[in-house]
Structure 1
Amino acid sequence: MAAGGWVCFLTGLLSLACAVDHQHQGEADTYHVSAGHLFLLRCHPADAHSQIMWSRGDSGNESLPTGVEVRDGLLWFRPVQMTHNGSYVCEKRDNTRSSKRIFRVLVSRGDCPDPNENITVTKGLQPGLECKQAEIFRLNLARKIRWMKDCHLMEMDKGSTYLKEQGSLRLPPVTEREEGKYTCLIDITIDGRNYTTARSIQLTAKSGPPEVFPELHVVSPQKDVVIVQVGKRAELQCLAYAGFSEDPEIFMFWTINGTETSDHMELTHSWKFIHDKGQVYGQSILSIPVVRREFLNVPINCHILSPAEEKLGEARLQEADYSTFYTNVALWLIAPITCLLLTALFFICQFDLILAYRKLNTHFSKPQVPDGKHYDAYVSVSQSAMLSLDGVACFALQILPQELEQKYGYYLYIRGRDDFPGEAVHDVITAAVHQCQRLIIILSSCGKSKETVQFREDQNQLLYEQKVGLHDALMQNDPKVILVEVDGPVDYSQLPESLRYIKRKQGALEWKNSFAETNKLTQLYLKRNFWKNLRCQMPAVPARRLQSIT
């Protein structure tokens, strides 16, 4: 083998050895625990593609002792026994590498084990002691937290308080009196059995010039509610005032529902100092690549720590509610369609609605004071048409009275039917028109030459009816005029200007004696529509008349 090949071969073996065994890199982690207590050890963050194996002894060749078991990659001591004293090896394997980590467990008797950590605090400062039992908090079970000092249970007073999320202990300003061993006890129930866990910290006070720390102030979040979408990305920003200079002892981190974000491998956070107008702020960004439902509606706290104090900012994630948006969109879409439908329905059924309202109003309204009107309508028809007995005469003398008088109780004065021969024509017309609430003018659809002859023959009558009826209708709106065209369009050029004006202003009703030539459904619809329209333009019939014809 060539020299270069040997170099590559040896280099590969060295890399493989480094990847396979890392147990001798660094010292073993040491934990002081109490016999009879619950204790958990976590090796490495594991994923679906890795395997966690536990063994006993520095070499990792011994099996686990009685009372020690592996659950979900964690090593459980349920409870700790004196025989559990010794070393434990955790090995993590995946497709590419293997790594080891050694833990040394030192078992002592009593409820307050030896300290795992020594803290030195300058006198006068008010420190916070954390209950560093992350594995117990990760269980998310109901728990009770107690603190002991020098193995004696502490009574909480105004100078020392719990911080609920982490069970931390806030002490008064440190003096020699506060020195000692502090033990955090957590009472918890697992599988119906009660356990206690313990972790001790040694606190030492030192003398020195009083340190001045800036008063921290959380700018945001302050119980903010952030709207997010489940399965989408989200970011939270924490901003805190940190004084006028960057203090290296200030630290920021996040917790979700009381557990640190390090428990969730996909979450990342970063923090830095930023400067604004001579002031310094701590800024931390929590990145959530995929929002899970377990992150919704739980407190997400930003912690800002200095040697003197700790401040919390709180935010909650809330799932976006699109029901209101969809409802508004639906309303915006439905509203115009509904308006169009209602408008179309009104135009189709407007006559029925008007007549129904009029009928109800007639029955429930108070009796009207008599207005001197004896007839509901004056029916004006050219006398030549009446004498010829054509379609106009048939409509005026038979169809119109049969429908309005016999069915609905209207009183009509029909020129040529209700006047008597020998009466003074002008006096009769004047008296009759003044006693009518409507003026129905029936116009013929005769050809131009015939209409001209008829107009000339009835000139005196029409001109006088125009003078008496149309003049009052146009000037005083009493009586109201109704134009009815019989058997086709009418040539209004041969009629007075007043009739042409009324035609342009309000139109005219059309009646065809040829309705009978259409199919029955069309005939029925056209006739009903005509009579409904005419009745809407006529005055309401008094209730007493309606009762007399029923």
Structure 2
Amino acid sequence: MAAAGWVFFLAALSSVGFTETHNHNGVIDVYHVSAGHLFLLRCPNTDSITNITWRREGRHNLSLPAGVEVRDGLLWFLPVQVSHNGSYTCEKRDETGFYGITIGVSVSSAQCPHPPETIPVREGVNDGLPCKQREIFGLNKPRNIRWLKDCGPVQRQGEPMNVHEDGFMRLPSISQKDAGIYTCLVDISLDGKNYTSARSIKLTTYNKPINPEPTVVIAHQEVVVVEVGTKVELKCYAYIGFSEDNETLIYWTVDGTFADGYEEFQESKEHSNDGGQLYSVTTLSISKVLRWFLDVPIGCHAMTTDGVKVSYVRLQEADHSALYTSVALCILIPLTVLLLAVALLFFKVDLVLAYRKLSGRFSKQQAPDGKLYDAYVSFLHPETVNSSEIEKFALQILPEELENKHGYSLYIRGRDDSPGEAVHDAIAATLSQCCRLIIILSPVAKSCSDVKTEEVPLSDNLNQLSYEHKVGLYNALTQNSSRVILVEIDGPVDYSLLPESLCYIKRKQGALKWRKPSAENNTLSKSHSNRNLWKDLRYHMPSVPVGKLRTVV
């Protein structure tokens, strides 16, 4: 393989952060120069002009010969002498490491140096040749640029050549006669002395297709998302021309080192035809992605004697945050729904009461259906049956909790009725103005029919109670104008002794139970055993107390 190809190879490694911790003892390139010319040599793969040292190889004395010196990292030959022929090593030390590169300098006595590269140009096109003297042009000194063909003046038929300021020689309508060795001469003045620098290029012409420069067809800095520990394949498509005999070398590097140096990497190659043009598909198989393979440049290189083309790809670990979020949502949403269902099941009463309390603060309250009372309280008076606990609950405890604490308005017969009024008419009218009917029952309470069977004459209280039950239950069951709330006092009630309508209410919605407080805690409102009773009773009561509406005007 030609020496110029190795120059491109090293440049490609440098572009991916290539560093060495040892010297390259072999000569990686040879520059052909003519004695008597100015020659500046740059250390390959370095743009920096600092931390560069030079020495001559192959002699006991490694110091530079006379006429050769280092300026700003460049090796200056002022001018080149036959005795300067040999190998020179440049070394660089910085924070990335240390490496050295050895370059050969071949000095001849010919007027024009040997051409290190060949440029093919199609006949009939307008093209030209560059004056590849980067270091000389970088001096920014006054200069004169001249071109020679085969070490003589450039003479061509037809339109003459044109030389640009950067040294580029333009040749219109190139023909076969333009083929030859061209030398770019740059005359420059340095330190009061005149020097000439020379660089030769060979121009060839053709009138049929030839193999083009290799083209690596993968996106620059492409990112491939991978899973650590899994297998991955990377493909590199490189167009190599029109013949499989093309001297194109395609290889992979990982963080600046050859991929075939790792057991996890395997390379395979095949050729394919696309419209008469061949391209090589090189596959890099990674058997197991290690973590250190992530975010390092992996390069595909296509190298010929004319140069190197390279493109890079980086492996990036897959981001599972979206997946984790989706899984979390899939778990949390059903769990949240389940918790809400459980909360509604076990804390329904508390939630409803809390909602009523909040909505009552932020919304304008209106009395339900224009009713005057929140509930009608019906109970059997103690003069008929010996049950003073019922009277105490109905006339003292119940009003204390519902009216005084929560602002409800209750109609309690024996407390709110007027003497001398028509009892049945008053009961019917009052029940129609109440949102609820609270019936207080006890184990000793019996229906009016049961009293009849014992041939005990019905008292006015029993008659009124019987009428309250009939009117209230009838309205609740047939007209749905009010709801019935059963409250049992001190123990289970035998519903077989009560009217069928009360038994139906009991089966449909159950009954609230009140227990007499113990002697240690005689205050009912503070009794833990009846705390749930008051919450359940308020839950069954209207959401907007009528009593409070009377105070909000």
Q: TM-score, normalised by structure 1?
A: 0.60
CA drift of 1:331 comes to 4.1
Match of 2:432 in 1: 434
1:317-466 equivalent positions in 2, closer than 5 A: 317-339=315-337, 350-366=348-364, 368=366, 371-383=369-381, 387-419=385-417, 424-444=422-442, 446=443, 450=444, 456-457=450-451, 464-466=467-469
Give per-residue Cα distances to partners, 1:191-216, cap 9 Å, x unaligned.
xxxxxxx9967242234x51277999
1:149-548 equivalent positions in 2, closer than 5 A: 202-207=201-206, 210-211=208-209, 225-228=223-226, 235-239=233-237, 247-249=244-246, 251=248, 253=250, 261=253, 264-268=256-260, 270=267, 272-274=269-271, 282-286=280-284, 290=290, 292=292, 295=295, 317-339=315-337, 350-366=348-364, 368=366, 371-383=369-381, 387-419=385-417, 424-444=422-442, 446=443, 450=444, 456-457=450-451, 464-514=467-517, 524-541=527-544, 545=548, 548=551
CA drift of 1:396 comes to 1.3
Give per-residue Cα distances to partners, 1:61-93, cap 9 Å, x unaligned.
442438889xxxxxx963333579333388xxx
SS in 2 for 1:395: helix
CA drift of 1:328 comes to 3.8
Q: Distance in 1 between matches of 2:31 and 2:147?
A: 18
From the superposition, tell whether residues 419 and 87 of structure 1 become closer, same or farther in structure 2 (CA, over 3 Å): same
Match of 1:166 in 2: none
From the superposition, tell whether residues 234 and 295 of structure 1 become closer, same or farther in structure 2 (CA, over 3 Å): farther
From the superposition, tell whether residues 358 and 339 of structure 1 become closer, same or farther in structure 2 (CA, over 3 Å): same
Match of 1:193 in 2: none
Q: Distance in 2 between matches of 1:461 and 1:287?
A: 97
CA drift of 1:402 comes to 1.4
CA contact 2:269–2:283 (8 Å) conserved in 1: no
Give per-residue Cα distances to partners, 1:97-156, cap 9 Å, x unaligned.
xxx9985224799xx9864333555647999999999xx9xxxxxxxxxxx995966769
CA contact 2:489–2:514 (8 Å) conserved in 1: yes
Q: Distance in 2 between matches of 1:520 and 1:55?
A: 107
CA drift of 1:378 comes to 1.1
Give per-residue Cα distances to partners, 1:372-407, cap 9 Å, x unaligned.
422210112234687523433321121001111222
Q: Distance in 1 between matches of 2:76 and 2:292?
A: 36
Give per-residue Cα distances to partners, 1:249-286, cap 9 Å, x unaligned.
3857478xxxxx38721535846335699997631224
Identity of aligned residues (%): 41
Give per-residue Cα distances to partners, 1:133-188, cap 9 Å, x unaligned.
9xx9xxxxxxxxxxx9959667699x99xxxxxxxxxx9999766876599xxxxx
Match of 2:77 in 1: 81
CA drift of 1:359 comes to 3.9
Q: Tell me the matched-pair count.
A: 449
What amino acid is aligned across from residue 85 of structure 1 in structure 2?
A: H
From the superposition, tell whether residues 177 and 206 of structure 1 become closer, same or farther in structure 2 (CA, over 3 Å): closer
What amino acid is aligned across from residue 104 of structure 1 in structure 2?
A: G
CA contact 1:119–1:201 (8 Å) conserved in 2: no
Q: Distance in 1 between matches of 2:481 and 2:74?
A: 105
CA contact 2:409–2:546 (8 Å) conserved in 1: no
What amino acid is aligned across from residue 484 of structure 1 in structure 2?
A: V
Q: Distance in 2 between matches of 1:290 and 1:333?
A: 32
What amino acid is aligned across from residue 76 of structure 2 in structure 1?
A: V
CA contact 1:273–1:282 (8 Å) conserved in 2: yes
What amino acid is aligned across from residue 481 of structure 2 in structure 1?
A: D
SS in 1 for 2:393: helix
From the superposition, tell whether residues 118 and 372 of structure 1 become closer, same or farther in structure 2 (CA, over 3 Å): closer
What amino acid is aligned across from residue 64 of structure 2 in structure 1?
A: P
Match of 1:30 in 2: 30
From the superposition, tell whether residues 131 and 371 of structure 1 become closer, same or farther in structure 2 (CA, over 3 Å): farther
CA drift of 1:223 comes to 7.9
Match of 2:160 in 1: none
Q: Distance in 1 between matches of 2:507 and 2:147?
A: 108
Q: Distance in 2 between matches of 1:355 and 1:316?
A: 61
SS in 2 for 1:272: strand
Q: Distance in 1 between matches of 2:522 and 2:283?
A: 80
Q: Distance in 1 between matches of 2:308 and 2:513?
A: 90
Q: Distance in 1 between matches of 2:291 and 2:539?
A: 66
Q: Distance in 2 between matches of 1:282 and 1:385?
A: 112
CA contact 2:175–2:205 (8 Å) conserved in 1: no
Comparing 340-349 with 496-505, greater Cα deviation is found at 340-349
SS in 2 for 1:358: helix
Q: TM-score, normalised by structure 2?
A: 0.59
Q: Distance in 2 between matches of 1:179 and 1:518?
A: 121
CA contact 1:409–1:545 (8 Å) conserved in 2: yes
CA contact 2:514–2:533 (8 Å) conserved in 1: yes
CA contact 2:272–2:281 (8 Å) conserved in 1: no
CA contact 2:223–2:315 (8 Å) conserved in 1: yes
Match of 1:63 in 2: 62
1:118-137 equivalent positions in 2, closer than 5 A: 118-120=118-120, 123=123
CA contact 2:221–2:313 (8 Å) conserved in 1: yes
CA contact 2:401–2:525 (8 Å) conserved in 1: no
What amino acid is aligned across from residue 40 of structure 1 in structure 2?
A: C
Q: Distance in 2 between matches of 1:218 and 1:149?
A: 36
Match of 1:3 in 2: none
Match of 1:97 in 2: none
CA contact 1:253–1:302 (8 Å) conserved in 2: yes
- Structure with larger RCO (C-alpha < 8 A, sep 6+): 2
Q: Distance in 1 between matches of 2:174 and 2:270?
A: 28
Give per-residue Cα distances to partners, 1:456-496, cap 9 Å, x unaligned.
23886666444422233233432022222222343444444
SS in 2 for 1:324: helix
What amino acid is aligned across from residue 74 of structure 2 in structure 1?
A: R
CA contact 1:29–1:104 (8 Å) conserved in 2: yes
Give per-residue Cα distances to partners, 1:6-31, cap 9 Å, x unaligned.
xxxxxxxxxxxxxxxx99xx998523
> CA RMSD, aligned part only?
5.9
Q: Distance in 2 between matches of 1:174 and 1:385?
A: 137
Match of 1:189 in 2: none
Q: Distance in 2 between matches of 1:380 and 1:150?
A: 125
From the superposition, tell whether residues 544 and 487 of structure 1 become closer, same or farther in structure 2 (CA, over 3 Å): closer
CA contact 2:299–2:313 (8 Å) conserved in 1: yes
Runs of 5+ in structure 2 lacking a partner? 1-23, 46-53, 90-99, 136-144, 149-162, 185-196, 261-265, 452-457
SS in 1 for 2:257: coil
SS in 2 for 1:488: coil
From the superposition, tell whether residues 178 and 253 of structure 1 become closer, same or farther in structure 2 (CA, over 3 Å): farther
Q: Distance in 2 between matches of 1:128 and 1:495?
A: 119
Pair member with larger Rg: 2
